Amino acid sequence: MLHQLTVRSVMPVFILLLAIFFAACSSSAPSEQANNAARRTTSPSATQPGNNAPKAKLNLNTASENDFLTIPGMTTRMVHEFMEYRPYQSITQFRKEMSKYVAPAVIADYEKYVYVPISQNGSDPATLQQIPGLNADEAAALIAGRPYATPEAFEAKLSEKLTPAELAVAKTYIR
Residues 31 and 58 in one domain: no
Residues 121 and 95 in one domain: yes
Read off the pLDDT of residues 60-105 as tens digits, 9 standing for 90 and up.
999 999 999 999 999 999 999 999 999 999 999 999 999 999 999 9
Q: How confident is the model at residue 133 (pLDDT cuts 50, 70, 90)?
A: very high
Q: Is residue 48 part of a domain?
A: no
CA 5 to chain centroid, in Å, comes to: 62
User: Which comes out higher in pLDDT, residue 166 or 28?
Assistant: 166
Q: Is residue 121 part of a domain?
A: yes
Q: Is residue 49 part of a domain?
A: no
pLDDT at residue 47 tops 80: no
Least confident span in 50-64, 73-87, 156-170 = 50-64
Instruction: Show the domain range for 9.
Output: 2-41
Which residues, including other chains, have CB under 8 Å from residue 59's CB and lie 6 or more apart? Answer: 114, 115, 117
Residues 35 and 120 in one domain: no
Residues 62 and 24 in one domain: no
Residues 83 and 167 in one domain: yes
Residue-wise over 110-138: b if at least 16 C-beta within 10 A, else e? bbbbbbbbbbbeebbbbbbbbbeebeeeb
* Strand partners of residue 115: 59
Residues 164 and 113 in one domain: yes
Residues 13 and 82 in one domain: no
Q: Is residue 108 part of a domain?
A: yes
Residues 154 and 86 in one domain: yes
Residues 82 and 8 in one domain: no
Residues 35 and 58 in one domain: no
Query: Integer distance in angstroms from the first to the last C-alpha of the chain?
Result: 86
Q: Is residue 78 part of a domain?
A: yes
Q: Is residue 46 part of a domain?
A: no
Mean pLDDT, residues 140-155: 96
Q: Is residue 30 part of a domain?
A: yes
Q: What percent of the chain has a predicted confidence (pLDDT) above 70?
A: 69
What pLDDT, on the 0 to 100 scale, is given for residue 140? 97
Rounded to the nearest integer, the mean pLDDT of the chain is: 81
Q: How confident is the model at residue 159 (pLDDT cuts 50, 70, 90)?
A: very high
Residues 25 and 102 in one domain: no
Instruction: Give me the number of domains the chain comprises.
Output: 2
Residues 68 and 151 in one domain: yes
pLDDT at residue 39 tops 90: no
